[in-house]
Amino acid sequence: MAKRPDNGTPTNARAPRRSPGMVDVARLAGVSHMTVSRVINDQPTVSQVTRQRVLAAMSELGYRPNVAARALVTGRSRTLGVISVDTTLYGPASMLLAIERAAREVDYSVSIASLPGLDRRTLRDAFDALTSQAVEGIIAITPHVAATAALRHVPKDVPVVAVEGGKGPLPTVAVDQYLGASEATRHLLSLGHRTVGHIAGPSDWYEAQERERGWREMLVAEGREVPEVVRGDWSPRSGYAAAKQLLEERTRNVTALFVANDQMAIGALRALGEAGISVPRQMSLVGFDDIPEAEFFSPPLTTLRQEFGEVGRRSLELLLEQVEGAPRTRRRLVIPPQFVIRDSTASPE
């Protein structure tokens, strides 16, 4: 009677057969596989009694829907992709976490692809890996100018959101780096410092550019001298090196420093300490990010908090809009950072 006749040998009668499918559930519940499908997809056109019977059969057999079969027929995978630079950094890690949580909330799973390098080729590969996996949309946490540029050449038919992605044609969520840097600089000037030095991030990062621009333009607007920038790579080590270099070259008496992120700030703090320069008495310092450690630096660091979680959640919203059918917009969501004043800034002696 069964269309797939058991090959009668008793030996493999208890063979580890494949996991049950809809037909198995249907047979047990005495309905057609279509009714099972309807129950699973919560379609209202199933009577209460039937639904209960199907549900019972499902749990008895331990039935799990086969996502591959579903994806094949619907053309939808309910999977999203996240491309990210260095998920070891606090910012990207926080965003990734927020994205994953929010995505699960609405029953999407999240697949990740990291970027070993920064060039266009690398991004292309990551993008390919994700699309051949049939993700329905991609969030790119690629704050490099180069990577973001590569994003423009991405196939038009896959929804994309860029995080901190500069001013490209893609929908974007970003923190207002420029604003934050301006605030930091103004704060230091208002404290009475004649000018403010800057330890910048890598020049090909969009965030680094904007923070530098915010700092520079505020100085210019206030008619102050603009000291030479020293550049790091976000790491504590590079902040240390940059501060050292700054101290050697100190032609003018710079008494305030805007450091492009908190990690470099701790390096700078160390260099200052070694040079016997007291913070904030002899040198004021402002960081960026507000990593959990910042509050416990010596002294506690004045910095700009970025709400990474918020950024992550917003970018997911933007992505889902596209996935659910809206055309690819140019929307750009900008989130202001929050200025957190602690003890690393003071008026000059």
Q: Which residues contact 23 (CB under 8 A, 6 or more apart)?
A: 33
Q: Which of 12, 15, 41, 281 binds DNA (CB under 7 A)?
A: 41
Closer Cβ to DNA, 292 or 325, answer by number: 325
Q: Which of 13, 15, 56, 69 binds DNA (CB under 7 A)?
A: 69
Rounded least distance, CB 51 to DNA, Å = 7
Contact code string over 235-264 relative to a copy of itself, x by CB under 8 A: xxx-xx----------------------x-
- Does 60 bind a copy of itself (CB under 8 A)? Our answer is no
Closer Cβ to DNA, 65 or 348, answer by number: 65
Single-letter amino acid, residue 120: R
Tokens of 47: 């009577």
- Does 270 bind a copy of itself (CB under 8 A)? Our answer is yes
- Pick from a copy of itself, DNA, none: which does 252 bind, CB < 5 to 8 A by kind? none
CA distance 326 to 320: 9
Helix (H) or strand (E) holding 231, with range, is strand 230-231
- Does 182 bind a copy of itself (CB under 8 A)? Our answer is no
Closer Cβ to a copy of itself, 131 or 338, answer by number: 131
Where do runs of H (alpha helix) occur along the chain? 22-29, 33-40, 48-61, 67-74, 90-105, 120-132, 145-151, 177-190, 206-221, 236-248, 262-274, 308-323
- Does 224 bind DNA (CB under 7 A)? Our answer is no
Q: What is the CA angle 201-203-207, rounded to 5?
A: 60
- What residues from 218 to 237 belong to the interface with a copy of itself (CB under 8 A)? 235-237
Sign of CA dihedral 221, 260, 176, 153: positive
CA distance 195 to 188: 8
Q: Which of 60, 225, 249, 295 binds a copy of itself (CB under 8 A)?
A: 295
- Does 113 bind DNA (CB under 7 A)? Our answer is no
